[in-house]
């Protein structure tokens, strides 16, 4: 089964919706090993937790979606 291609903005919105933390911005970029990677931008106090959540969600979404060029 082929994976569906999504833009970076679509993937960012999907991850942000799933982690549901206010004040957290998600950025998606290409990654040579994983295909694409999500990075969070938030207050330093919440950064580690928010990044862990984003990594978990991204791992699930990578099974279904690729990053559109």
Q: Where are the domains of the chain?
A: 4-67
Taking the C-alpha atoms of residue 4 and residue 51, their distance in angstroms, rounded to an integer, is 24
- First-to-last alpha carbon distance for the chain, in angstroms, is 20
Q: What average pLDDT does the segment 10-14 reach?
A: 97
Taking the C-alpha atoms of residue 18 and residue 43, their distance in angstroms, rounded to an integer, is 19
pLDDT tens profile 26-54: 999 999 999 999 999 999 999 999 999 99
Q: Where are the beta strands (DSSP E) in 4-69?
A: 4-6, 25-31, 35-41, 65-67
**pLDDT band at residue 66 under the 50/70/90 scheme:** very high
Taking the C-alpha atoms of residue 48 and residue 66, their distance in angstroms, rounded to an integer, is 25
Who contacts 30 (Cβ-Cβ below 8 Å, separation ≥6)? 36, 37, 67
Q: What's the predicted TM-score (pTM) here?
A: 0.90
């Amino acid at each position: 089964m082929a994976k569906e291609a999504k833009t970076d903005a679509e993937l960012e919105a999907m991850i942000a919706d799933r982690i549901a933390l206010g004040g957290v911005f998600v950025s998606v970029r290409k990654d040579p090993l994983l295909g694409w990677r999500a990075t969070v931008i938030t207050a330093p106090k919440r950064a580690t937790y928010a990044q862990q959540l984003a990594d978990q969600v991204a791992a699930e979404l990578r099974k279904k979606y690729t990053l559109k060029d």
